[in-house]
Amino acid sequence: MKNKICVIGLGYVGLPLAHAFSEKYDVVGYDINNKRVNELNSGIDATLELTEEQVKKALSNGIRFSTNLEDIKECNIYIVTVPTPIDEQNEPDLTPIIKSTEAIAPVINKNDIVIYESTVYPGVTEEVCVPILEKISGLKFNEDFFCGYSPERINPGDKEHTVTKILKITSGSTPYIAKKVDELYKSIITAGTHLAPSIKVAEAAKVIENTQRDVNIALINELAMIFDIMDIDTNAVIDAAATKWNFIKLTPGLVGGHCIGVDPYYLTHKAQSLGYVPNLILGARQINNGMGKYVAERTIKLMIQKGINIKNSKVLILGITFKENCPDIRNTRVIDIIDELKDYGCDIDISDYWADETEVMNEYKLKLHNDMDINAYQAVVVAVAHDKYKSLKFNNEKQVVFDIKSILENSDGRL
């Protein structure tokens, strides 16, 4: 039987995956966002992960983007790539993955395979999603339908490590299905695949990838705070230490986005539910979540040292996306700097030529100011290392410039 693939969720993960599969298979991209689907059908990707040429190439290959479940009924492989966020208590919010599972359950047929790519804690696929699929479809797991898990490894904004160039972990609910899932991905992933021995192993592998990075960055952030007290240049220390062959070179900064700042909470949730308190992971999360407040306090101290009156002072924040050269504003920790400076009584302007103005307003109730004189502010915080900011020239000696990612030649402060 020829594979007909449905990719559920057309965001940073789903769209590039659907595009890659469309080179070899009949693909339907499904999403509940009408605006998103209409843009894609007209050749536009607002996430900028694909160029207009790439979207139109996928359309010419026969890919269909739809919000109608009727359009996916003829598929036999369903790949779920929806977000898995956390709530205000930092607990996993499985609502998107549950709703997606409920949506496709009525349309799956005998021998179909449902593959999950969303980041979850070990056990979600088989313990949360499978019962939903069985109950609604009336089909029996591993007899009538099957499941797989192949965690996404998309790095938003990265034009070098694209989906087909990143080695893919695969898994399946039976040995035969595991091999079939592996062969499916191997047909488009030029970097190759790694077949995990079980779905839970694949789920666990995904969640520790970003947990490890989170813990490592927390160490560097804590060192930056220690070296600031010692009046030592953190980046100079890192450059010196990196001359050792096995030193992992990371730089301090804000940890946001939909992966590193979120995934560890999925693992800690599962660990705590089993009676184990993961102190190291939770401690790392506490350090990284506090960096926005730390940057704001450092900026305020520098302003006081320059004799700047804090209340009603004009402060410019350069960048609100969660990382450089990317329009993604999800879980950006720049918002922590903004909120803290507002608490001090500062008047804040935000500029970001990558971010979508409407999205920023809807998500954070903030207005972007991209036509501004950078020298007219009492303080400027370069929060995101967008390429355009690297060539900025500051000519106001009375203002404070805090450069979080050390992209400027000169600044008053940096991590």
C-alpha atoms less than 13 angstroms from C-alpha of 384 in its C-beta half-sphere: 29
Q: How far apart are CA 157 and CA 2, in angstroms?
A: 33
Task: Give the closest residue to 6 by CA, choosing from 65, 61, 97, 78.
Answer: 78
Ranges assigned E (strand) in 319-389: 347-351, 379-382
Distance of CA 124 to the CA centre of its chain: 20
What is each CA distance from 231 to 242, 293, 299, in whole angstroms?
20, 20, 16
What is each CA distance from 19 to 10, 34, 72, 195, in whole angstroms?
10, 19, 16, 23
Task: Give the closest residue to 257 by CA, choosing from 83, 49, 7, 385.
Answer: 83
Q: How far apart are CA 136 and CA 86, in angstroms?
A: 26
Given 6, 75, 147, 259, which residue is catalytic?
A: 259
DSSP classification of residue 127: I
Q: How far apart are CA 323 and CA 385, in angstroms?
A: 7
The encoded tokens of residue 333 equal: 């920790």
Q: What DSSP string runs through 218-259?
A: HHHHHHHHHHHHTT--HHHHHHHHTTSTT----------TTT
Q: How far apart are CA 294 and CA 280, in angstroms?
A: 20
The encoded tokens of residue 69 equal: 């479940």
Phi, psi of 387 (to 5 degrees): -55, -40
Longest CA pairwise span in the chain (Å)? 74
Which amino acid makes up residue 274?
Answer: L
Task: Give the closest residue to 302 by CA, choosing from 391, 415, 392.
Answer: 415
Which amino acid makes up residue 338?
Answer: I
| 317, 351 Cβ separation under 8 angstroms | yes
Q: Is 129 annotated as catalytic?
A: no
Q: Going by C-beta distance under 8 Å and a sequence separation of 6 or more, which residues neighbour residue 397?
A: none
| Plot region of 254 (φ>0 → left; ψ -120 to 50 → alpha; else → beta) | beta
Catalytic positions, written as ranges:
259
